[in-house]
Amino acid sequence: MNATDRTPADLLRSALAADPGRPLVTFYDDATGERVELSVATFANWVAKTANLLQGELSVEPGDRVALLLPAHWQTAVWLLACSSVGAIADAGGDPAAADVVVSGPDALEAARACSGSRVALALRPLGGRFPQPPEGFVDYAVEVPGQGDRFVPFAPVDPEEPGLIVAGRGFSGAEVVERAGAEATGLGLTGPTSRILSGLPYDTWEGLNAGLYGPLATGGSVVLCRHLGELSEEALAKRIESERVTATAR
């Protein structure tokens, strides 16, 4: 993290400038056996494409609310940073009826229909796969995002003091997210670029978001993000911690 970083998108830009090839997010789904590893550069490319989708195709502007009805997943992390890039408010698990845009996983599609604005559906399949049959009334993220630009420039400057995140009913500005992530890093065991945290926490609390994304990003570390971690035996978990060179855990 640099002294000039005021938003989560700033943190990503700094990480990209410092070491684009290092791992940033390693994702496991222990219900399906999926594992995917994203370097800073690859993650940033997904973020740029998603931000271009938000701004260019969905006409999202700074201050618009984007309800994220998504689990702890690497694509959710991408959407959180894309919202920050545009200046939109990422509302984790928020009310779709109060949102300008809703982004939904396959298990929340019915609830997402309450949004009167644009609706985006994520299949959350391995390798970012699309739905076999697109849900009616939704844009299929996996169909739309590949054709988006690899570079993103916001139409309007993002104000770090404006609201940028809502989680568990609490709002944070972009600057508050950065400040709090940095302040709480040591408590998570994140001490610098060699830190690698394994998180099995959901993304519906600040603690889950911080351990699973913002904290590692703020410290130049990385995260092993695990969905359905309860499917794993303690022995298998110990092996993962060793093989992934994990230095801290949040469960």
For the chain, the residue count is: 251
Grade residue 2 by pLDDT with cuts at 50, 70 and 90: confident
Would the pLDDT of 238 be above 80? Answer: yes
**Residue 40: closest CA among 85, 6, 4, 77:** 77
**Per-residue tokens: 155:** 């139409």
**Per-residue tokens: 58:** 């969905």
**Residue 206: closest CA among 172, 179, 174, 173:** 172
Instruction: State pLDDT tens for residues 92-131.
Output: 999 999 999 999 999 999 999 999 999 999 999 988 899 9
Grade residue 3 by pLDDT with cuts at 50, 70 and 90: confident
Residues 6+ apart with CB under 8 A from 44: 12, 13, 15, 16, 20
- CB count within 10 Å of CB 212 equals 29
Residue type (1 letter), 202: P
CA atoms within 13 A on the CB side of 211: 24
Between CA 16 and CA 220 the distance in angstroms is 10
Residues 6+ apart with CB under 8 A from 17: none
Instruction: State pLDDT tens for residues 161-197.
Output: 999 999 999 999 999 999 999 999 999 999 999 999 9
- CB count within 10 Å of CB 172 equals 21
Q: What is the pLDDT of residue 127?
A: 85
* Structural domains of the chain ordered from first start: 8-250 (3.40.50.12780)
CB of 15 closer than 8 Å to CB of 24: yes
Instruction: State pLDDT tens for residues 141-171.
Output: 999 999 999 999 999 999 999 999 999 999 9
Instruction: Please list the residues that pair with 101 across neighbouring strands.
Output: 66, 118
What percentage of the chain exceeds 70 in pLDDT?
A: 100
Would the pLDDT of 233 be above 90? Answer: yes
Instruction: State pLDDT tens for residues 8-19.
Output: 999 999 999 999
Rounded mean pLDDT of 202-208?
98
**Per-residue tokens: 223:** 């995260």
pLDDT, the chain, mean: 97
